[in-house]
Amino acid sequence: MLKERAIQVSGLIFVVNINKAAVHLWQQFGFKTAGGTPKGFRHKELGLVDTYNMFKDLQAY
């Protein structure tokens, strides 16, 4: 007999925080900011910029 297994499914994305349009778009899809990484992305014009870690629980999908 097989035992039931609980599966935790989530989505985690990294978004450059200066890209306000991308942050807004992911928020519209239900992602929440869950921290960030200082100087986590090297922008070719601005140098090192911060990133947001955005998370969404996908269990219901």
Does pLDDT of 49 surpass 90?
Answer: yes
The answer to whether position 29 is within a domain reads yes
Domain count, the chain: 1
pLDDT given at position 11: 86
1 occurs within a structural domain: no
Reply yes or no on whether the pLDDT at 3 is more than 60.
no
What is the average per-residue pLDDT within 4-32? 85
Has residue 14 been placed in a domain? yes
Q: Is 16 part of any domain?
A: yes
In a domain, 53, yes or no: yes
Q: 24 lies in which domain range?
A: 10-57
Q: Long-range contacts: 27-34, Cβ < 8 Å, 24+? A: 27/54, 29/56, 30/56, 31/55, 31/56, 32/56
Does residue 29 surpass a pLDDT of 70?
A: yes
